[in-house]
A and B are shown apart, each in its own frame.
Chain A
Amino acid sequence: MLLEKLSNARGVSGNEAEVREILLDAIQDRVDEHRVDTLGNLIALKKAKGTRQKSALKVMLAAHMDEVGLMIVHHESNGHLRFRKVGGIDDRVLLSKVVLIGKDKIPGVIGVKPIHLLKEKEREEVLEADALTIDIGAKSKEQAEEAVRLGEYATFATEFAEMGERIVKGKAFDDRAGCAALVQILKRDYPFDVYGVFTAQEEVGLRGARVAAYAIEPDFAFALEGTVCDDSPKQKDVSPVTRVGAGPAITIADASLISDRRLVNLLVETAEENRIPYQFKQAIAGGTDAGRISLTKTGVPAVAVAVPTRYIHSPVSLLSLSDFDHLVALVSKALPRLTRL
């Protein structure tokens, strides 16, 4: 399964090569052109095809390759490694996690003080990332320096696995789910040019999408995502943001974008006519490449649509494969209707 391969691959923002190689391999037979730009975006062009009348539209589909992770910034005298976060990670999810560092996948553990030794006050405190270190078993600064260089990236050591009924767990579904969906969507032919863009550095400020959209100048843009989900049982009757298993989530507004209403309606109508389940993302939170793309040059109508993903930006996330399949079906079926807008 491509999603498994992509989830296990390691690609913190700025270091997307491993993910890009997998994607390049997966798409090169089904696109007309592809290139890697200065920032590391993989831009694939699938030219207009089909018997139907071709349209001059340019449509950009974006999914980001990068994931949140850590970067090594200092060797401590005892051989531990100091690190900084790359992208948004809750400090509370870092404690006692196993990470893999650099190309050689050096295993490390983010150390934690045993509960026996915690003072009462310490139990209530959240330790900030700056206060934590990674233990790679080195006995000295010299040993640590030999094993890991400064500036190397670390990712969570989570292995993809299937669980329950069509549920999978793994790291980095945000946004390898979008990447895997985009590969599938590129299998089909469309009556206009489709640019499948696997972007770099989304998690640190939508950077790849910015330059890719500038070069492409699309008429419409879709961001494919793994998005926030908060559907665990709660005391209060409040928004779950999205629900796993209830279909792809269409963004009406988030912190970066107010989706183009015509594109929202296009997705809703396509879903209803094809009996594809869908939901709206029920929060104005987070941002996606679509936000940045929409502000390119004279403006681009854009929308984000996503696989609901529990526990994103943590070492392990969880999604439903039927939501994933429905996202692929929804976008593939909605795209040809763009010519009618």
Chain B
Amino acid sequence: MTTTKKNVHFPLFDNDPSAAPRLHPLKELIKKLTEAYGPSGSEQVIREMIRDEIKGLADDVRVDALGNLIARLKGSGPAPRKKVMLAAHMDEIGVMVTHVDEKGFLRFANIGGVRPLTLIGHRCRFANGVIGTFGVEKKDASRTEVEMSKLFIDVGATSPTDAPVGVGDAAGFWRDFTDLGKRIISKAMDDRIGTVVLIETLKQLKRSPHDVFFVFTVQEEVGLRGATTSAYGIQPDLALAIDVTDTGDTPESNWMAVALGKGPAIKVKDSGMLAHPGVKRLLVETAQAEKIPYQFEVLVGGTTDAMAMQTAREGVPAGVVSVPTRYLHTPSEMVDFEDVQNTIKLFVALLSKPFKLD
């Protein structure tokens, strides 16, 4: 018996495969990076993918002790130049196997903020490509609350000996990218969409008066760990995180004045940091000058790498630009394509000219 690795795509209402529209190149990159494997602590694959994508674009590229990928674009302005750190995290939430039972079912722990209810019926994928599905004890998927300890992963094994993965192996969600035209859905938009913004900014930014450090961080989802150490090493004069944020634009959603399609969200506050007023103003003024739509973000729960960067060493003026995202921390996170493009525009404009923070 043979198997083919090629994914054949059959359009639902059209028998002619050539009629399927080709993806926009930026969507192609989003698809590639969001579908990649990379739970916190297992960022090797995604890191190499990004390193490949930015080849030749930066003056130097290095990986630090914790695994952060740091690309530096040397400024064209006269010394002393300002150091700008941009951080987008490579890692995604996931699960880690803690026990293989006698029948080959896997018990697991969460890596980052995984909610049990969002797992049931979904699939996860391990580093070696093994895919499993999440099951629940007593087959009870009707309850509104379920504890993680009542769930298990089924990888089709019948005993610990034929299980293709074991204790300590990590998995991310397994779900493919969907293009809805104006909107796109994928797993791990949080924060691969941020890495896409940084890659595109680096591609489009011809020159900057500042030394710009594009940092693809590790282990954000488990405690902003990569940003903590990379910010210490870089000692930036300005730090910006690019991450996703929640929205308030779905039926009966919690009150939040962020919506898809209204442009990048400039963070005012979240549960871990208050954006530096000068940084906030700089972002607003740049958006206004470039006629880029923007909105303000006040996030009640959650934080980003900016919290760690802000408190590095003696303190760093820090802010966040967020891509509004629905269904966060589920296998189907949705963003607006124009928001993504506008976020890139904002970063390119911001980095192209000198700035003053006051």
Interface residues of A (CB under 8 A from B): 237-240, 252-253, 256, 258, 261, 264, 280, 282-285, 294-301
Q: Determine whether B303 belongs to the interface, using a CB cutoff of 8 Å to chain A.
A: no
C-alpha gap A239/B99 in the complex (Å): 5
Are B65 and A300 neighbours in the complex by a CB distance under 8 Å?
yes
- Of listed A256, A299, A301, residue having the most chain B CB within 10 A: A299
CB–CB A298/B98 < 8 A: no
A252 cross-chain contacts in B, Cβ below 8 A? 96, 167-168
Contact with A along B217-238 (1 / 0, CB 8 A): 0010011011011101100000
Within 8 A of A (CB), among B195-244: 219, 222-223, 225-226, 228-230, 232-233
Task: Knowing A238-B107, A238-B149, A252-B168 are in contact, say whether A282-B229 is a contact too (CB < 8 A).
Answer: no
A215 CB, nearest partner CB in chain B, Å: 15
At the interface, yes or no: B109 with Cβ under 8 Å from chain A?
Answer: yes
Is A253 in contact with B111, judged by CB distance below 8 angstroms? yes
A239 to chain B: which residues have CB within 8 Å? 98-99, 107
15 residue pairs A–B, Cβ–Cβ below 8 Å:
A237-B99, A237-B102, A238-B101, A238-B107, A239-B98, A258-B41, A264-B168, A282-B99, A284-B96, A295-B225, A296-B229, A297-B229, A299-B64, A299-B229, A299-B230
Which residue in chain B gives the minimum CB-CB distance to A254? B109
CA distance A298 to B109 in the complex (A): 28
Contact yes or no, B98 A283, CB < 8 A: yes
Question: Please, what's the 1-or-0 string for B96-108, where 1 marks a CB less than 8 Å from any CB in chain A?
Answer: 1011011100010
| Residue B110 CB within 8 A of the other chain | yes
- Is B66 among interface residues, defined by CB-CB distance under 8 A? yes
Complex contact A258–B65 (CB within 8 A): no
Tell me whether A282 and B228 are in contact (CB under 8 A): no
CB contacts under 8 Å to A, within B33-67, are 40-41, 64-66
A250 nearest CB neighbor, chain B only: B168
Query: B65 touching A299 by the CB < 8 A rule?
Result: yes
B109:A294 contact, CB within 8 angstroms: no
Q: Which among B64, B98, B101 is the interface contact of A284 at CB below 8 angstroms?
A: B98
A294 touches B96 (CB 8 A): no
Known: A238-B149, A298-B64, A298-B233. A282 touches B167 (CB 8 A): yes
Q: Which residues of A contact B65 (CB under 8 A)?
A: 298-301
- CA A238 to CA B149, docked complex, whole Å: 9
Q: How far, in whole Å, are A68 and B225 apart by their CA atoms in the complex? A: 27
Enumerate chain B residues within 8 angstroms of A256, measured Cβ to Cβ. Answer: 223
Report chain A residues within 8 Å CB of B219.
258
Which B148-171 residues have a C-beta within 8 angstroms of A?
Answer: 149, 167-168, 170
Residue numbers in A under 8 Å from B170 (CB-CB): 253
Cα–Cα, bound, A237→B100 (Å)? 9
A297 touches which one: B98, B107, B223, B232 (CB < 8 A)?
Answer: B232
B268 to chain A, nearest CB (A): 27
Given contacts A283-B98, A284-B98, A298-B64, 18 further A-B pairs with CB under 8 A are A237-B101, A238-B99, A238-B107, A239-B98, A239-B99, A252-B96, A253-B170, A256-B223, A258-B40, A258-B225, A284-B109, A284-B110, A294-B225, A296-B229, A297-B229, A299-B230, A301-B65, A301-B66
Which interface residue of A258, A284, A294 has the most chain B CB atoms within 10 A? A258
Least distance between B312 CB and chain A CB atoms (Å): 10
Number of A-B contacts (CB under 8 A): 70
Which positions in B face A, CB cutoff 8 Å? 40-41, 64-66, 68, 96, 98-99, 101-103, 107, 109-111, 149, 167-168, 170, 219, 222-223, 225-226, 228-230, 232-233
B123 to chain A, nearest CB (A): 21
Known contacts A258-B40, A294-B66, A298-B65: does B232 contact A280 (CB below 8 Å)?
A: no
State A256–B224 Cα separation when bound (angstroms). 11
Q: Can you name the residue of chain B whose Cβ is closest to the Cβ of A256?
A: B223
> Roughly how many angstroms separate A296 CA and B219 CA in the complex, as a whole number?
15
In Å, the complex CA distance between A237 and B99 comes to: 9
Closest CB of chain A to B20's CB: distance in Å?
A: 40
Minimum Cβ distance to chain B for residue A228 (Å): 12
Residues of A within 8 A of B98 (CB): 239, 282-284
Max count, chain A CB within 10 A of own CB: residue among B65, B102, B222, B223: B65
| Inter-chain contact A253/B96, CB cutoff 8 Å | yes
Once the chains are docked, how many angstroms separate the CA of A319 from the CA of B69?
Answer: 42
Chain A residues near B228 (CB-CB < 8 A): 295, 299
**Shortest distance from the beta carbon of B299 to any chain A beta carbon, whole Å:** 23
B99 surroundings in chain A (CB, below 8 A): 237-240, 282
Q: Which residue of A lies closest to B219 (CB)?
A: A258
Q: A238-B149, A283-B98, A284-B98 are in contact. Are A298 and B232 (CB under 8 A)?
A: yes
B101–A253 CB distance below 8 A = no
Tell me the complex Cα distance, A252–B170, Å: 10
**Nearest CB of chain A from residue B235's CB, rounded to whole Å:** 10
Give the shortest distance, in Å, between B290 (CB) and chain A (any CB): 35
- Find out whether the CB atom of A280 lies under 8 angstroms from the CB atom of B107: no
Cβ contact within 8 Å between B107 and A253: no
Contacts of A253 in B (CB 8 A): 41, 96, 109, 111, 168, 170
Q: How far, in angstroms, from A187 to B99 measured CA to CA in the complex?
A: 36
Query: What is the distance, in angstroms, from B87's C-beta to the closest C-beta of chain A?
Result: 14
Are the CB atoms of A298 and B229 closer together than 8 Å? yes
Residue ID in chain A nearest B228 by CB atoms: A295
Write out the residue numbers on chain A whose beta carbons fall within 8 Å of the beta carbon of B222.
258
Q: CA A55 – CA B181 in complex, angstroms?
A: 57
Specify the chain A residue showing the minimal Cβ separation from B166: A280
Complex CA distance for A259 and B222, rounded to whole angstroms: 12
B31 to chain A, nearest CB (A): 27
A231 to B191: give the CA distance in the assembly, Å: 38
Q: Which residues of B contact A238 (CB under 8 A)?
A: 99, 101, 107, 149
Q: How far is the CA of A284 from the CA of B107 in the complex (A)?
A: 12
Contacts of B40 in A (CB 8 A): 258
- Quick one: which of A280, A297, A298 contacts B168, CB cutoff 8 A? A280
> In the complex, A261 Cα to B222 Cα: how many Å?
16
Nearest Cβ distance between residue B303 and chain A, in whole angstroms?
16
